[in-house]
A = this chain, B = another copy of it.
């Protein structure tokens, strides 16, 4: 739904709720796609949310709506809802969504809800909950189509009509051997174009791309994206087919991982925190600033060390901002390119020296350009060419070192298996600040005989 229509729905809902015109609103809510309704919930108060939600007629609609709603909002919405009412809705949701939700609740609450569900559903959900939430096992759908090799195309279509009516994405049919091990895959499309007596084993593709239950979700997303497939089968350690991850979940993962990387690099948490409490937002952002604070304190001891130079030439202070700013910004450019390149697979660790030496060259070239420019301005302002050379050299060295640190640090972190997005931000900016200031005063003390 285009942004405009989203806005119309939101405004209408707010207006009708204010007026208490529930009759009219009831019609609108039950006609709206669950995903559209979910998209406006973020912009409503909890009271408005509850009122709108209660207008949904059927348990099926509520289940679709729960699946479409952002987790954070859903958790708030069900906070005061009676367990019986929630369990009834969970019964109608895909089990992977149920497991996602229960994984976020307290153990007692999750247990209570599971006890209220039918045995079949709760067992499947418990199975999913046993996997790490960010692995293939944690995100997979345990419902899939698995047929034996000797099944015919006609037999497969009959199975679709009877046994597999509720399957969410029935576009691939997996073929398993007598021990339920994954043997091949057939697309629904192939099935309708072959003669009805064809056996699956004679038409299936046997080089099936699959993932293991403990494969990281980011890796799962990369595989689905690379092979342009609509779902990837998940197998356990002995190749038994246990679930599938579908492309719609992969899209969510790709978006979340990108958001996570962007925020982590700025030290602003892992998920968008604008809707979180003020206290929580503040706490999430505190640690990264601590690194920067420590760096700042070190910088003032460094400058204190050069106090006698400063005393002799007080306007040295005026150039601290430009030297720090140029170094900091080119360092951010280098580290951003490397962190994103590693995340998308467009850079790999084997290229570490290639990348670092290229960044170093770029840092030097840009440092030369801007160092020259700044030196010239300083000379114009103070009519001291030696001061111009000092500041120019400081900008050159600051930018060169920043490009080096900015590219080397994330690569080094990645090599020792520390998430480069998390570690890079504070480490790179802080060390560049300190190094830039130190080099500047060192150059000034030597060149200007201070």
Interface residues, chain A, CB within 8 Å of chain B?
A: 1-2, 7, 33, 35-36, 39, 42-43, 70, 157, 160-161, 165, 169-171, 188-189, 191-193, 207, 209, 219, 223-228, 230, 247-248, 250-252, 254-255, 258-259, 261-263, 265-268, 272-275, 278, 281-282, 285-286, 288-289, 292-293, 295-297, 299-301, 303-304, 307, 310-311, 314-326, 328-330, 332-333, 336-338, 340-341, 344-348, 350-351, 355, 358, 361-362, 365-366, 369-370, 373-374, 377-378, 381, 429-430, 433, 437
Min Cβ gap A332→B in Å is 5
Point out the residues of chain B lying under 8 angstroms from A267, CB to CB.
329, 332-333
Q: A293-B326, A293-B374 are in contact. Are A274 and B346 (CB under 8 A)?
A: yes
- The 7 A-B residue pairs with the shortest CB-CB distance, nearest first, are A296-B322, A317-B317, A258-B258, A299-B321, A266-B336, A228-B248, A303-B318
Please measure, in the bound complex, the distance between the C-alpha atom of A214 and the C-alpha atom of B18, giving whole angstroms: 37
**Measured CA separation A227–B429 after assembly (Å):** 41
Q: Which of B43, B300, B366 contacts A351 (CB 8 A)?
A: B43
Decide if A170 touches B191 in the complex (CB within 8 Å): no
A350 with B43: CB separation less than 8 A: yes
- Report the bound CA distance from A192 to B160 in whole Å: 8
Query: Contact partner of A361 among B278, B328, B336, CB < 8 A?
Result: B278
Chain A at the B interface: SS class: helix
Contacts A189-B171, A300-B319; A285 near B39 (Cβ below 8 A) = no
A272 and B346 contact, Cβ closer than 8 Å, known pairs A336-B262, A340-B263: yes
Contact A300 B272 (CB under 8 A): no
Task: Report how far A39 CA is from B227 CA in the complex, Å.
Answer: 11
Q: How far is the CA of A161 from the CA of B189 in the complex (A)?
A: 9
Residue pair B42, A346 in contact (C-beta under 8 Å) = yes
Q: Is B268's CB under 8 angstroms from A219's CB?
A: no
Q: Which of B33, B247, B325, B362 contacts A281 (CB 8 A)?
A: B362
* Minimum distance in angstroms from A168 CB to a CB of chain B: 9
On chain B, the residues within 8 Å of A333 by CB distance are 266-268, 285, 288
Q: Is the CB of A251 within 8 A of B247?
A: yes
Nearest CB on B from A215, distance (A): 8
Q: Contact between A193 and B251 (Cβ–Cβ < 8 Å)?
A: no
Contacts of A223 in B (CB 8 A): 1
Docked Cα-Cα span, A433 to B355, in Å, equals: 30
Q: Most chain-B CB neighbours within 10 Å: which of A293, A369, A381?
A: A293
Cα distance A340–B170 when bound, in Å? 34
In the assembled complex, which residues on chain B have CB atoms less than 8 Å from the CB atom of A366?
A: 282, 285-286, 289
Give CA–CA (A112, B259) in the complex, Å: 43
Asked whether, in the complex, the Cβ of B319 is within 8 Å of the Cβ of A317, the reply is no
- Nearest chain B residue, comparing its CB with the CB of A230: B230
Q: Flag if A225 contacts B247 (CB, 8 Å).
A: no
Q: Which residues of chain B come closer than 8 Å to A272, judged between CB atoms?
A: 337, 340-341, 344, 346-347
User: Complex formed: what's the CA distance from A311 to B247 in Å?
Assistant: 65
| In the bound complex, CA of A122 to CA of B42 (Å) | 47
Seed contacts A36-B226, A325-B430; 18 additional CB < 8 Å A-B pairs: A1-B223, A7-B350, A43-B351, A160-B193, A165-B193, A171-B171, A255-B258, A258-B262, A281-B358, A285-B330, A288-B329, A295-B325, A297-B377, A303-B315, A303-B317, A307-B318, A320-B324, A321-B324
CB atoms of B170 and A332 under 8 A apart: no
- On whether the beta carbons of B259 and A340 are closer than 8 Å, the reply is yes
Closest to A331 in B: B266
Cβ contact of A315, chosen from B70, B255, B304, cutoff 8 A: B304
| Contact between chains at A314 and B325 (CB < 8 Å) | no
Task: Assess the A310–B321 pair: CB atoms within 8 A.
Answer: no
Q: Determine whether the beta carbon of A171 is less than 8 Å from that of B192.
A: no
Chain B residues, CB < 8 A from A377? 297
For A330, give the chain B residue with the smallest CB separation: B289
When distances are taken between beta carbons in the complex, the residues of chain B under 8 Å from A39 are 226, 345
| Contact among B250, B286, B328, B358 for A274, CB-based, below 8 A | B358
Closest residue of chain B to A226 (Cβ to Cβ) is B35
Can you report 14 A-B residue pairs in the complex whose CB atoms are below 8 A from each other? Answer: A228-B248, A230-B230, A255-B344, A259-B344, A262-B340, A278-B365, A289-B326, A289-B329, A293-B374, A299-B321, A317-B320, A320-B324, A321-B433, A325-B429
